[in-house]
Structure formats: C-alpha cells, structure tokens
Amino acid sequence: MTRTYGEGCPIALSLDIVGERWALLVVRELRLGPRRYRDLQEALPGITPAVLSKRLKELEEYGVLRRRELPPPVAARVYELTAWGAELEPVFQSLARWGVRSPVLPLTGEVSADSVMLGLRTFFDGNGDGDGEPRTPWSASYEVALGRDVYRLRVEDGRLTELARGPAADAPDVLVRTTKPAWQAVLHGTDPLDDAVAAGRLSVTGDVAALRRLVAARTHPTPR
Amino acid sequence: MTRTYGEGCPIALSLDIVGERWALLVVRELRLGPRRYRDLQEALPGITPAVLSKRLKELEEYGVLRRRELPPPVAARVYELTAWGAELEPVFQSLARWGVRSPVLPLTGEVSADSVMLGLRTFFDGNGDGDGEPRTPWSASYEVALGRDVYRLRVEDGRLTELARGPAADAPDVLVRTTKPAWQAVLHGTDPLDDAVAAGRLSVTGDVAALRRLVAARTHPTPR
DNA sequence: CCGGATCCTTATAGATACTG
DNA sequence: CAGTATCTATAAGGATCCGG
C-alpha cells in the first residue's frame, strides 16, 4: 500500500483499500460478473490505462479481485471479484441510496446497462430499509434485453432473488426487449409502461402484469 | 467540484462528493456531533491544514456539513453534519463491517474514543444483517467515561437506541469509568470484564449485569 | 491559542504514444 | 487485446507564518 491513513479504524482501513480514486468504480463494474481490461476501460470513461492497471494490481493484492485466464476457446484474461470483494455490495447500496438524494448535484451523464439493472436491485421495494408498507408478494422470472445486453431476473415472494448477465436458463415468464434509455425512462416513471409498449419503444412477450409489478416495485427516493 | 467522474450513476455521484482523499474521514469525525477545526486536525493525524480547509469548504458547498459560530460564552466555530450528511451513516456501517473482515491488512493504529463507541454501535448485535439468533431483549441506560471523553448510551428491547457525547441526562443504570485502551480490550473480548474490574482497569457503578449484557452484545465478525 | 493561509516539495492522476 | 512508457498537470504532504 502506498499511502495509508494509518489508523486502527475499520472505516479508514476500508478507505486505504478502496478509497483511492477510481478503485470503487472498478469494483462496481465487476458486480455482475467478470470483465476484461477493455470492458473496464470502456465502462469507465476518463480512466487512463496506467491508472486502471495500477488499481487492478492493488485490488488484486488486497484480495478484492482476482485475475483469471479463460481457457483457449475464449483465450481472454478477465478480472472478477473475490468473495470478500463481493461483500462490498452493502457499500454500493448505501452509497447509491445516499447519492440519489443529493440536493446539489443533478445526476446527469451516461449510465452503463449493468448500472441500470443494479439500480433496479438497489431501489427494489423490500430490499431497502424495510420502511415501506408490506406489498403483495409475487413471483416471476424475467429476461430483459437492452440492445445486446441481456439480463435475467427472478422475483420470489416479492424479493428480488436473482440478477445476472445473460439469458434466462429456462423460459422466463416475461421477455422484454428494449433499449437502455427506454428502459430507464420506464423504470424512472417518466414513460408509462403501457405507453412505451404501445409506441413500440418496448416489446413484451409473456406475462405483462408481472412486468407491471416489477416496474412498480422500483422505488423512487425523494431528493432532499 | 474540481474533479468529477461525470457519470449518471448515483454511486459515482456520491464518490464525486465524498470520494476525495480525507473527505469521508472528516465526515466520520462529525458523526457524534459538532467539532472545531482543531478537534478535526487532532483526530485526523496526517491531514494538513490546507487539505482540511479545502475539504471543509467543499463538503459545506455540497451540503454535507455546515459551519456554525457558537455564541459568545463559547465563541468558537464548529462544523456539524446536515441532515443529509448524517444519512451517510449506512455507508460508514457497511464500510466498517467490510473493512473489519480484511484478509490482508492487520488493523493496527490508534482509534479515537468516538470511533470506539461508534464501533460498539456498528457491531451491536441486532443492528446488523439480522443473521444472529434472537437475543433476550433488555433495556438499560449507560454512561461511559473514557478518560475525559464521556458518552451516554441507551438500550431498549435489545436495540441500541441512543449513543451520544456527554453525560446521561438522568441517572443511568450503569456508570463506567475506564480508559480507552482498557474499554477496547473489554469490548474486543481480550480482557474479560470481570478481570478488568477486579484489576481496577475499569470501575463500574450500578447494574453490573446490564454492563455484561452490553459487552456481550458487541459482535465479532470473522476475518476472512 | 484558534483558524486558517502561504510556500515549497513530493506523489498521484491525466494525456498521449507506443509495444509485447 | 492488454497493457507500458513518457511527459505534464494537479493534488496532497510538510513546514512555516499570520491575523484575531
């Protein structure tokens, strides 16, 4: 470790590890699974190769992520979170929930497809502080394609139990095909689901009611 | 804002605000109430006056903290968290819970009295993920003096409902007088409470059983 | 003594080009 | 594709000084 706060406080220790510039954003990009160097560079606009290399090296040494070489058919090296690195999830959740309530900064700019889907998990009703009224529990499986980025989701008894990259293993109850901005608008509530479907911005196959429940389960914290 | 990640992701936004070096540690020092410039400088060994001034100015502009001039009898200026700044609490909790499980770094160095008490809250059984067995709920009020740093605590039905600087308003059930290192050793479990009392490292007035329950409620996450 | 500001040095990040 | 190398800009570290 180069610079350290040199304290005995676990918060300071965490910041020694993931508090450097870009570090937590690199980890964020690995939340839904392994990524190649190139993927990370594209997902982190503005990071320079030197800094990305340095962060990856440091985070690997700390045990937050590991390098892995995929066998010949793919022949790529990827970075993936260790079990301990994956335990940063509550940190991301709390940071996102705090940042979204910022009274000063507008929250403009691009968001990756991964982040849109992870935002759905972070702000999914029932994953939160448990301050909401109990909703009617439901269960359904989903496949959502945002352009060529495909995700599978599963809700069981009103809890979001699965979110991963890639198509659903078995036939899902609902199949959604749309674009990232259209999906964002629907989730954000600025474009009602039925309008988006009617206008062809979003196509649904299967249980539309289950999709309505999913969209409705996305909460919208009040900014201060 | 000087440097920004320029993303639409709320996590990146949060890091734009509190992701700069020292920023989150400055906020940490205000978790239990207002502090003067000098207090912050002493609590953050290694921070330079220029950096501290800059962070305070930035955090004030973002609305995380505010400056306040105390009226003549005291005549000091203090920094205190805004309501939104205080909402960073879950971020501290998750960072502390993650850092304490670090497989590589030892967690050595000084810890402020505030941090010791806040650690008790962070790792208080029942404040966590709810993964523990249900404990017998109890209620008690405490006053803990670590040298000249005095804190009051209240447990209601097994939940830690109050933690603040300063003596208890009404006569507490338990009054503890000890030193920071002795209190740390007892909380950490390396120095059994009864030994510490017998050896005079810690003096208790009042309900010793209630103090035992408090100490026992401090959980110890397994490092990886 | 408190609450900083200033000056200088060092470390880290940004920009760009280039290589195994 | 997965990084290194080089150079420049910026931010942090260290010491000192200053006004109220």
Is the CB of B2 less than 7 A from some atom of nucleic acid strand D?
yes
CATH fold of the domain at A113-216: Nonspecific Lipid-transfer Protein; Chain A (3.30.1050)
Confidence of residue A109 (pLDDT cuts 50, 70, 90): confident
Percent of residues, chain A, with pLDDT higher than 90: 83
A140-146 vs A77-81, strand pairing mode: unpaired
Which pTM was predicted? 0.95
User: Do β-strands B202-206 and A159-165 pair in parallel, antiparallel, or remain unpaired?
Assistant: unpaired
CA dihedral A66, A71, A72, A77 (to 10 degrees): -10
Pair B103, A83: CB distance under 8 Å:
no
Instruction: State pLDDT tens for residues A26-78.
Output: 999 999 999 999 999 999 999 999 999 999 999 999 999 999 988 777 778 99
Query: Which residues have a Cβ under 8 Å from the Cβ of B114 and sit 6 or more positions away?
Result: B29, B31, B32, B43, B149, B165
Q: What is the pLDDT of residues B163-187, one digit of tens each?
A: 999 999 999 999 999 999 999 999 9
Distance measured from the CA of protein residue A69 to the C1' of nucleotide D3, in angstroms: 15
Give me A202's structure tokens. 């979003």
Q: Would the CB atoms of A98 and B91 count as touching at under 8 Å?
A: yes
Which of the 133-162 residues on chain B come under 7 Å of nucleic strand D at their beta carbon?
A: none
Å separating the CA of residue A63 from the C1' of nucleotide C20:
27
Give the whole-angstrom CA distance, residue A66 versus residue A79. Answer: 6
Helical axes B113-122 vs B89-99, angle rounded to 10°: 90
| Interface contacts (A, B; CB < 8 Å) | 176
Alpha carbon of B42: minimum distance to chain A alpha carbons (Å): 13
As a whole number, mean pLDDT of residues B134-161 equals 93
Q: How confident is residue B29, by pLDDT bands cut at 50, 70 and 90?
A: very high
Q: Cβ of B45 and A7 within 8 Å?
A: yes
Contact A184, A88 (CB under 8 A): no
The set of strand D positions with any atom below 7 Å of a protein CB reads 1-6, 10-16
- Nearest nucleotide (C1') to alpha carbon of A52: D3
B22 in contact with nucleic chain C (CB within 7 A): no
Q: How far is CA A107 from CA A25, A102, B5, B7, B190, in A?
A: 16, 8, 11, 7, 47
In a mutagenesis test of the A interface, which of B1, B3, B4, B14 is the best target, namely the one with the most A β-carbons within 10 Å? Answer: B14
What separation in angstroms does the CA of A20 have from each of A27, A75, B24, B182? Answer: 12, 31, 12, 33
Residues of chain A with CATH 3.30.1050.10: 113-216
Distance CA B220, CA B125 (A): 9
Kindly report the average pLDDT of chain A as a whole number: 93
DSSP string for B93-146 = HHHHHHHTT-SS----S---HHHHHHHHHHTBTTSSSS-SPPPPP--EEEEEEE
Cβ contact B72 with chain D strand, < 7 A: no
Q: What percent of chain A has pLDDT over 70?
A: 96
- Secondary structure of residue A115 in the 3-state scheme: helix
Residue extent(s) of CATH 1.10.10.10 domains in chain A:
10-87
Class of domain B10-87: mainly alpha
